[in-house]
Structure 1
Amino acid sequence: MPADAVLVTGAGGYLGRHVVTALADRGHRVLAAVRPGSTADLDARAEVIEVDVLDPGLDLAVFGADLPGTVIHLAWQDGFTHNAPSHMLNLSAHYRFLDGLVGAGVGRLAVLGTMHEVGYWEGAITADTPTKPLSLYGIAKDALRSAAFTSWAEKTELQWLRCYYILGDDHRNRSVFTRILEAAERGEREFPFTSGKNRYDFIDVAELGRQIAVVAGAPDVSGIINCCTGEPRSLREQAEWFIADRGLDIELKLGAFPDRPYDSPGTWGDATQIRELMARYA
């Protein structure tokens, strides 16, 4: 298998479809791992493999006689439900799968992380920002990150792709923006909202897919990499832009819900490294 072959797990998911397309656009041979029975509409250039990567009986030979040089691990269950028990219940299965890949000689392993590993934090998040997650999703991702660098940093080129607030491809998302869109499609004229004053790092899913494709293909890049814009924007401002951009006949009902006390008033990714990588390799 050529060195530029890339295996993407979770390829049929919300983000995975965009990563697959971005990799194919860059000339990679893409093996797209999807769940058995998946009906995901994937880029026709990808080679689709139906497999449960968390199956304890998984035989890596399903990916071919020789594994790709790079694996991007996006697969994750219930990513939009932050306190689902599945995050903790599946943690060891993720570790087992990734450990098998490293043991089989995969040269580069890129794993999707999340800013929810950090928990409450005000200001820019860097690779050195301490983590104290406040949800099962964040706890599980943080545990996998810690285990990954402890176990495999000396055995493979390990990238932890820390992502932030994703929007776009609206009907495949489960964010507040999707809920606004669905409410407008039902004919509702108001959407109950918080104050919307908190500021976050929002990124379009297609751009995030491009960032991940570039990082995973960049030479000699390892460690925690923020995949983000680095430009904080208030939730209210982003929601109002979303409504205007899509021409929706609906308004935010600000203050209908209280702001959650554990949400950071403003947090975003330090985009210094990703901007350099995109400028150099995109």
Structure 2
Amino acid sequence: MKVVVTGASGYIGRHVVDALIKMHHEVIAVDMINKGINTDATFLSLDIFSDDIYNKLGRPDACIHMAWKDGFNHASDAHMGMLSKHYAFIKNMIDGGVKYLSVMGTMHEIGYYEGCVDENTPTNPLSMYGIAKNALREASLLLADKSDTALMWLRAYYILGDDSNNNSIFSKITQMEHEGKASFPFVSGKNKYDFIHVDELAKQIATASTQSEITGIINCCSGKPVSLADKVNEFIEKNHYSIRPDYGKFPERPYDSPAIWGDNTKINLIMEKHNDTK
């Protein structure tokens, strides 16, 4: 297929481009700047919020919409400020006739919740980031329901790997280790989350986005809850770092659930059926 990836220079985007190329798709990588994008992809720098965008992108078979401003800053005004532009982009792609459209979602659509999240779990987002993504999901599914486009809302959870290029606790630990710090202030670490390596996530995103048998909300995740403390200690040990967490110095955020993870039933079915891409 000809597959467009928006936000292709982003933390996850670069890995998705790599995964698609390994699957032998023709990739159009779209972003404002080319930062580490696979040279086997065709790079385009254009305004995805402009009119007639489907034709400007070369009328692709599939689109993976990952572009999002201030994704690491959950309180940014950009989330709500740009929501209508993302809606217009998705509507333009659907109206243009794209066959497969995937949009990146987030566990922060759910808000405070304890347990396993499936496609029917109620949402009550408690951050501007979560509120904007939740609204875009509802609008996107409604648009797709009235069209011939297969829409996949790909809900991600906690991501690690390629830690020098993300903004997670793991990248901060790496930075502080290199600065020679002996310890770092941390939350209690008791909360349990669903962690996935960015390379595995990219494979899931690329595979889910180029099929149409399973659509709608798809959790891209491991399906396993692991405590933050265990994952941080594993990360430190694996990298042979000497730095240690100083637990309990920071409170958890009000929307951080004691234990939350994704139901991976749908993504497992997709990966099993398309196991030549795994």
**What TM-score does the superposition give when structure 2 sets the normalisation length?**
0.95
Q: How does 1:1-282 map to 2 (within 5 A)?
A: 4-35=1-32, 38-54=33-49, 56-57=50-51, 59-64=53-58, 67-155=59-147, 156-282=149-275
Measured in 2, the distance between the counterparts of 1:58 and 1:34 equals 17
1:236 positional shift: 0.4
Q: 1-side partners of 2:128 and 2:57: how far apart? A: 31
Given that 1:167 and 1:177 are in contact with CA atoms closer than 8 Å, whether structure 2 keeps it comes out as yes
**Deviations 1:13-35 (Å, cap 9, x if unpaired)?**
10000000000101101111111
Secondary structure of 1:18's counterpart equals helix
Which residue type is aligned with residue 104 of structure 1? Answer: G
Distance 1:27 1:39, change over 3 A: closer
CA distance in 2, matches of 1:251, 1:238: 13
Cα 1:104–1:265, aligned 2, differ >3 Å: closer, same or farther? same
User: What amino acid maps onto 2:224 in structure 1?
Assistant: E
How far, CA to CA, are the matches of 2:153 and 2:212 in structure 1? 15
1:45 and 1:95 map into 2 onto residues whose CA distance is 30
CA distance in 1, matches of 2:170, 2:188: 15
RMSD of aligned Cα (Å): 1.2
* Alpha-carbon separation, structure 2, partners of 1:59 and 1:235: 41
| Whole-angstrom distance in 1 between the partners of 2:73 and 2:204 | 24
C-alpha deviation, 1:85, in angstroms: 0.4
Distance 1:139 1:220 in 2: 28
Once the two structures are superposed, residues 18-67 of structure 1 have per-residue CA deviations (whole angstroms, 9 ceiling, x without a partner) of: 000000101101111111xx14111121111111213x456443322xx1
Mapped partners of 1:260, 1:90: distance in 2: 24
| C-alpha distance in structure 2 between counterparts of 1:207 and 1:232, whole Å | 17
Kept after mapping to 2: 8 A contact 1:191/1:252: yes
- 1:219-255 Cα deviation digits (max 9, x unpaired): 3221100000001100000111111111111011111
Q: What amino acid sits opposite 2:222 in the alignment?
A: T
Q: What displacement does 1:118 show?
A: 0.5
1:261 Cα deviation (Å)?
3.9
Structure 1: unaligned runs, 5 residues or longer:
none
CA contact (8 A) 2:111 2:126 kept: yes
Q: Contact conserved, 1:123 with 1:266, CA < 8 A, in 2?
A: yes
SS in 2 for 1:172: coil
Rounded to whole Å, the distance in 2 between the matches of 1:253 and 1:242 is 15
Question: Unmatched 5+ residue regions in structure 2?
Answer: none
The change in CA–CA distance for 1:261 and 1:41 in structure 2 (over 3 A counts) is closer
Offset, 1:273: 1.4
What letter matches 1:200 in structure 2? Y
1:96 positional shift: 0.7
Deviations 1:53-97 (A, max 9, x none): 13x456443322xx1111110010111100100000000000111
CA distance in 2, matches of 1:215, 1:106: 15
Check the 8 A contact 1:118/1:133 in 2, yes or no: yes
Q: Relative to structure 1, is the Cα distance of residues 87 and 80 closer, same or farther in structure 2, using a 3 angstrom cutoff?
A: same
Instruction: Kindly provide the amino acid, as one letter, of the partner of residue 144 in structure 2.
Output: W
Q: Deviations over 1:141-161 (max 9, x none)?
A: 000001111122231111100
- Percent of paired sites with the same residue: 46
Residue identity opposite 2:272 in structure 1: A
Q: Report the secondary structure of 1:141's partner residue.
A: helix
CA contact (8 A) 2:15 2:199 kept: yes
